[in-house]
Amino acid sequence: MNFHVLTLFPEMIENGMRTSITGRAMEKGILTLHTVNIRDFAFNKHQKVDDYTYGGGAGMLMQAEPVYLAWASVAEKIEKQPRVIYLTPQGRTFRQDMARELAQEENLVFLCGHYEGIDERVLEEIVTDPVSIGDYVLTGGELPAMVMMDAISRMVPGVLNNQESGETESFSGNLLEYPQYSRPEEWHGKKVPEVLLSGHHGNVDKWRREQSILRTAKWRPDLLKGAELSGKEWNYVHQLKKKWKETQEKNENL
Ligand code: ADE
């Protein structure tokens, strides 16, 4: 996977990505990172990249030409036209399935905006995927680009070692991951669930599956719609919801 990032703050991306697991994957050559400073493509006296918006309104806008030239400098080196992700709160919301899908690409270009955004005309010409990382507004696209690259990297074969990857993890099958415990067996008076100490793999798997369903029903009930549960498991969900509703009603009547 080759990441290319068009940004006004390349050092932010370099510092963030060349550490920890993504940094290790770059050293191994499984990932590459190529940052392009958009300012290097502003050929005016002060290398200015922004200007006022036509029609008035607060703030400055990034101009089309430096963004276009920065993109062209990357695109000309890649045989097939790469997907260009523009980080914007107006985009499609980033999710695990999108990370999985994007990890199949050989090259990905991320375009990070600043100020009030980027001139619409260049976005029309180069962007293939406008993406948001959530319904809130950040000061620029660098953090969202790093969030996406981190999540995508984990899906690239070889980036995680076997121990880190874990076959089951949150969002696989639309369920959250079960709770996990390490040593000591008792901490602050809390004991590790007995079944996990039993060495009985069948029972452990059953308990974990149940916990995944319980946790998803409690914290992210919206995910359950897309989960593949057996009839018995759906029954369990209905029982849980009934129990929680009764507890809530009891508490309200107190
Ligand atoms: N730029 C500013 N806010 C953003 C967000 N929530 N997602 C993606 N890009 C952004």
Q: What is the 3-state secondary structure (H, E, C) of the chain?
A: CEEEEEECCHHHHHHHHCCHHHHHHHHHCCCEEEEEEHHHHCCCCCCCCEEECCCCCCCEEECHHHHHHHHHHHHCCCCCCCEEEEEEEEEEECCHHHHHHHCCCCEEEEECCCCCCECHHHHHHHCCEEEECCCCCCCCCHHHHHHHHHHHHHCCCCCCCHHHHCCCCCCHHHCCCCCCCCCCCEECCEECCHHHHCCCHHHHHHHHHHHHHHHHHHHCHHHHCCCCCCHHHHHHHHHHHHHHHHHHHHHHCC
Q: Is the CB of 139 under 6 A from ligand 1?
A: no
Name the residue of 6, 13, 88 to mutate for ligand 1: max ligand atoms within 8 A of Cβ.
88
Q: Is the CB of 134 under 6 A from ligand 1?
A: yes
What is the pLDDT at residue 238? 97
Residue-wise pLDDT for 98-117, tens only, equals 999 999 999 999 999 998 89
- The per-residue pLDDT for 170 is 83
What's the confidence (pLDDT) of residue 169? 77
Between the CA of 126 and the centroid of ligand 1 the distance, in Å, is 18
Question: What per-residue confidence (pLDDT) applies to 168?
Answer: 57
Per-residue pLDDT reduced to its tens digit, 228-251: 999 999 999 999 999 999 999 999
- pLDDT of 146 reads 98
Please tell me the distance between residue 69's alpha carbon and the centre of ligand 1 in angstroms: 23
Evaluate: CB of 193 within 6 angstroms of ligand 1: no
pLDDT at residue 242, rounded to an integer:
97
Predicted pLDDT of residue 163: 67
Q: What is the mean pLDDT of each run of 10 residues along the chain (254 residues)?
A: 98 98 98 98 96 93 98 96 97 97 98 94 98 97 98 96 69 93 98 98 98 97 95 97 96 92
